[in-house]
Structure 1
Amino acid sequence: MKRLVAVLVAAVLAASVAAVVGSGGAQAAPQAKALVPAFGWSDCGGGVECGSFQVPLDWSNPGGTKITLAVTRRVHTGATYRGVMLVNPGGPGAPGTGLADLGRYVPGGAGNEFDWIGFDPRGVGSSTPSLHCNSRYFGVNRPTFVPRTSRLMRYWLAKTGQYAAQCGASAARALLPHVATIDTVKDMEAIRAAYAAETPGTGTKLNFYGFSYGTYLAQVYATLYPSQVGRFVLDGVVDPVRYWYASNLQQEVLFDRNLNRYFQWLARHPRAYRLGTDWRAIRRGFNALLVKLDRHPSARGRLGPDELIDAMLPAAYYVFDWDGIGRAYSVLKRTGKGGAMFAMYAGANMGDDNGYAMYLATQCTDVLRPGWPVQRRDAWRIHRSFPFLAWDNTWYNAPCLRWRAPSHARIGITGAHVTSKILMINETYDAATSFSGALVARSRFPTASLIEGYKGTTHAGSLNGVACVDNRIGIYLRTGVVPARQAGTRSDIRCPRVPPPPATGLRTTGGGLPASIRAILTAAQLRG
């Protein structure tokens, strides 16, 4: 039996690699021989199996150096088997091996009819090699993001340029020219082909559940391999035209607006948060606090304005921890004690930099960005009206100015040749992936239907207890049926938004997903 599997893996991968890179089967053979068996699954607890999978470092040279992807799976338990479901949490730069359990939370047991595979994309997490540049890059009490003096401007340009140089000198620097989205998409196709060969009855198509950046992986995959598209769930849909620089600029506007929406929610609960009933006054107080922290940082000198901005950012991404952030911010604003606020910043930002390094490694090479004069002009222009994130986001992406790898040509996303139905999900006021961008993606994929979380601010929040959304995911995975497509540029059905938590000061909510999976998703998506 193993001999038969090895032969099938070799045959399928050779065909797959030839289709991807336009090379012959003879060039693919060395890769195929290395995969006996392809994944080497072994039990790693909780009903999940762990394995690994080798792919070429350079897909234009499939017989050359190999790298190893970490993979996990939970096999189907349902009576019906519908094939393999690959899942990606977003990013880029986020590990996905913790998401093999995701299918357990699809309503009606529909997820149990698939083998769910999580994977750490190339360069990420437990995949080897993985990129690390400077684990101390995100420090404490950093100089303010807003470069009102030439000295501050020089500081941030030097700091971000140095980080790019550190990545260029890292032990994993050979990855840098080979970690664009298209490289990961080719890895996904290789996983599909190998799993089909190794697992009889799997079927040939890829099923995929992608959050945030994972929806862009899905769009590129569908463009390159339209005949292999099975059931695709895209939650928090990336604009296929504006990526990445233009979408970053749009984010700066939308996150500022969502911060105001959050302050409106705090103002509706003055007894819980003790910040008053005027949200505009709360916003003015926040702006004044940034100035104060620049002069007198809180939390024993560790919480300056930059750290506060980063700690507040999740409130503009999701409703999940609105209560917890509100309580921590209230204490800081009223008493000056910033320990809880700093803990939120440190937990999300400090420590190992693999995720940030790989976020940059992908975004800096996916498509060419404009030069510094254009970026500086855009940052000041947006800062004048939407100051919350304009310079923060500019410096976050500034290492791309000095990145040590070339950029790719823009990919023309199209679903014109896709015949399978696709399910897209986006909330109206999602700031990370705008609703307008989701509509653009819908227009590129004639077989897609878009669920709108009406007037919601949460990014990629499916499977969190909104029955109107979650039940339709279950129906789609089981039957392939999506909401009827409506004429025009609009969503195809409106559902309630992910609701804010109770303003009790007692607990936060994460809806239907367990805290462990929600933590993986939020950590992944805060990078993008």
Structure 2
Amino acid sequence: MRGVLTLAVGLALVGAVPPAAAQDAGPPSAHEEQRLGWGPCPAAQRELIRAGARCAKVKVPLDYADPAGPAVEITVSRVQARSAKRRGILLSNPGGPGGTGLNSTLTLRRTLGRTADAYDLIGFDPRFLGESSPVRCAPAGPARPPGPSSSARADFDRSVRAARDTVRRCFAPEGNAALLPHASTRNVARDMDLIRKVLGEPRLSYYGVSYGADLGAVFAEMFPRSVDRLVLDSATDPAATQYELFRRSGRPLEGALDEWAAWTARRPSYGLGRTRAQVRAGVERLLERATRRPVAIGGTRLDAPLLRLILRQFVQHGEHDAALAAVVRDLRRAAEGRPVEPGPELAAMLELLESPALADGMVGGALFMCGDGGWPAGGWPQDPEAYWRNIVRDKAALPVFGPMTSGMTAPCAFWGSEPGEAGTPVGNAVPALILHARRDANVPYAGAVALHRKMTASRLVTADVRAHGVYGRAAEGFRPVPCADRAVNAYLDGGALPTRDLAC
């Protein structure tokens, strides 16, 4: 997801496991032959309602190894094709993990244009999220603001306690312990193929961004004969563990901060420094000060971990440079003890940090990261001290973001159940269009190159921008990458893949 704070940088699935079957066996005919009752979409889905979408619930096995056992419901939406030359169905996933997607395919229509008319646009909330048999963790209770003083070790210890508390809250409600082992990317891929079968379609087309791209790669590996057109935007290295992916994002984030610092230095009106080194040094001093004494602003206190979260959110996109400069200016003034009224950029971020939707999204991300690859499959150390040692080790090279990317960002070390099955090593000849921004600070570009090599029939479109997500950027208020948009639309419109990799 591009527009909200996200828990994960993407989801890798461990390659050192036995290969999955070329085509998963799939659910029994009792599920395949169910009849859907299409009706109004949930009232909160105003965009879907305005588009004339209809929604339905698809029953899927909780455990595909026990297809006659308990079922859960996946809520799907459909906007029917408007062209006489209908191609099929187009599904999508907006990322996370933990992102809901009931209307995500519909939002693609702004960039797809007439290409969308050839498809039934099918949105869905992945199992246990949103409108799809959601798993509810026990409420966290009111957040405790940081105290007036702290330290790097105290910040880390709080993150460990928060991780343990997330696990406690998610396993406390009755029935959750039986559900959570089945929150996995492999099961979401199976759910997608069952949706395809229930809709009577021989194949499906798909667009996924960030974690959604990883999901698409897993789907192609498990169900290669079910793929029509496949677009994977901002994917991760399929051979890396989840913790490796977090740590690998540290250097690109520091590089993005350098790029922003150079931009800011050319604009002395912000008062943050006249050279890149001066601007960066000011950010590092801000964090060092917040580590000792959280910054009081806007009626709350922000400790160093929260400041890193804010910095990361803004630094991902070049279009946010001005907003980040204004935020850092406000924070530096507040840290110096000066009275500061948060500007609109910081005020919006403070509101987001208080949002229950943000907390729900982070818990949703944990369900899939830990259900997919808790310890040891996801590479998450079980010993909390291993994270602390990595933070200390990475401090010199990653002074701003190292405590975030090497720390205990996810609660998987303490998860109450092991993954129900091994992950999916990706390596196939399914045609796919892979997109990636060269200066992506959230999911490093090297991951797209690795996936491109594993998917031997793919083509890679590289955009020379600092961004997370390449296709359809104009629809989100960012500068578009026209050649990437054209490549995706031409491909989904029934054209062939580009004859070679593209640089935009």
Q: What is the TM-score normalised by the length of structure 1? A: 0.79
Offset at residue 29 of structure 1 (A): 4.9
In 2, distance between residues paired with 1:361 and 1:259? Answer: 30
Offset at residue 40 of structure 1 (A): 2.2
| Residue correspondence of structure 1 range 28-427 to structure 2 within 5 A | 28-32=28-32, 35-37=34-36, 40-42=38-40, 45-47=49-51, 48-107=53-112, 109-136=114-141, 140-141=145-146, 147-148=152-153, 153-171=156-174, 172-196=176-200, 203-271=201-269, 273-293=270-290, 294-299=292-297, 300-334=299-333, 336=338, 337=340, 339-340=342-343, 341=346, 343-348=348-353, 350-352=355-357, 353-367=359-373, 368=377, 369=379, 370-372=381-383, 373-407=385-419, 408-416=421-429, 418=430, 421-427=431-437
User: Alignment partner of 1:397: what SS?
Assistant: coil
Partner AA of 1:66 in structure 2: A
In 1, distance between residues paired with 2:139 and 2:267? Answer: 41
What does residue 452 of structure 2 align with? 442
Offset at residue 281 of structure 1 (A): 0.9
Q: 1:22 to 1:86 in 2, by over 3 A?
A: closer
Judge conservation of contact 1:223–1:413 (CA < 8 Å) in 2: yes
Q: 1:358 to 1:238 in 2, by over 3 A?
A: same
In 2, distance between residues paired with 1:296 and 1:348? Answer: 16
Offset at residue 444 of structure 1 (A): 1.0
More helix by share: 1
Judge conservation of contact 2:59–2:72 (CA < 8 Å) in 1: yes
In 1, distance between residues paired with 2:150 and 2:118? Answer: 48
Judge conservation of contact 1:103–1:112 (CA < 8 Å) in 2: no
- Cα shift readout 1:290-333 (whole Å, capped 9, x = no counterpart): 23334152213422322222112112322343333322322332
Offset at residue 143 of structure 1 (A): 8.9
What does residue 507 of structure 1 align with? none
Number of equivalences? 454
Offset at residue 342 of structure 1 (A): 5.3
Partner AA of 2:471 in structure 1: S
Judge conservation of contact 1:238–1:433 (CA < 8 Å) in 2: yes
Judge conservation of contact 2:428–2:455 (CA < 8 Å) in 1: yes
Offset at residue 443 of structure 1 (A): 0.6
In 1, distance between residues paired with 2:462 and 2:277? Answer: 28
Partner AA of 2:98 in structure 1: G
Q: Does 1:475 align with 2:490?
A: yes
Judge conservation of contact 1:256–1:389 (CA < 8 Å) in 2: yes
Partner AA of 1:304 in structure 2: D
Instruction: Give the unaligned 5+ runs of structure 1.
Output: 1-17, 197-202, 486-491, 496-528
- Cα shift readout 1:198-231 (whole Å, capped 9, x = no counterpart): xxxxx41110000000111111111111111111
In 1, distance between residues paired with 2:24 and 2:487? Answer: 37
In 2, distance between residues paired with 1:354 and 1:46? Answer: 26
- Cα shift readout 1:378-412 (whole Å, capped 9, x = no counterpart): 23222331032222244453411110110342422
In 2, distance between residues paired with 1:156 and 1:425? Answer: 34
Partner AA of 1:438 in structure 2: A
Offset at residue 134 of structure 1 (A): 3.6
Offset at residue 81 of structure 1 (A): 0.8
Q: 1:234 to 1:213 in 2, by over 3 A?
A: same
Identity of aligned residues (%): 26
Judge conservation of contact 2:149–2:293 (CA < 8 Å) in 1: no
Q: 1:250 to 1:19 in 2, by over 3 A?
A: closer
User: Alignment partner of 2:356: what SS?
Assistant: coil
Q: 1:494 to 1:21 in 2, by over 3 A?
A: closer
Q: 1:190 to 1:88 in 2, by over 3 A?
A: same
Partner AA of 1:442 in structure 2: H
In 2, distance between residues paired with 1:86 and 1:247? Answer: 26
Judge conservation of contact 1:212–1:237 (CA < 8 Å) in 2: yes
- Cα shift readout 1:75-115 (whole Å, capped 9, x = no counterpart): 22233211100010001101011213234223551122111
User: Alignment partner of 1:233: what SS?
Assistant: strand
- Cα shift readout 1:406-449 (whole Å, capped 9, x = no counterpart): 03424221113x2xx31110011112221111011001112110
In 2, distance between residues paired with 1:289 and 1:109? Answer: 49
Offset at residue 133 of structure 1 (A): 4.1
What does residue 10 of structure 1 align with? none
Judge conservation of contact 2:221–2:427 (CA < 8 Å) in 1: yes
Judge conservation of contact 1:73–1:117 (CA < 8 Å) in 2: yes
Partner AA of 1:180 in structure 2: S
Judge conservation of contact 1:215–1:234 (CA < 8 Å) in 2: yes
Judge conservation of contact 1:157–1:398 (CA < 8 Å) in 2: no
User: Alignment partner of 1:141: what SS?
Assistant: coil
Judge conservation of contact 1:136–1:351 (CA < 8 Å) in 2: no
Judge conservation of contact 1:85–1:115 (CA < 8 Å) in 2: yes
Judge conservation of contact 2:470–2:481 (CA < 8 Å) in 1: no
Q: 1:266 to 1:449 in 2, by over 3 A?
A: same
In 2, distance between residues paired with 1:41 and 1:382? Answer: 53
In 1, distance between residues paired with 2:372 and 2:149? Answer: 29
Offset at residue 42 of structure 1 (A): 3.1
Partner AA of 1:275 in structure 2: L
Instruction: Give the unaligned 5+ runs of structure 2.
Output: 1-20, 42-47, 474-479
In 2, distance between residues paired with 1:298 and 1:308? Answer: 12
In 1, distance between residues paired with 2:256 and 2:195? Answer: 38
In 1, distance between residues paired with 2:313 and 2:149? Answer: 19
Q: 1:409 to 1:265 in 2, by over 3 A?
A: same
User: Alignment partner of 2:296: what SS?
Assistant: coil
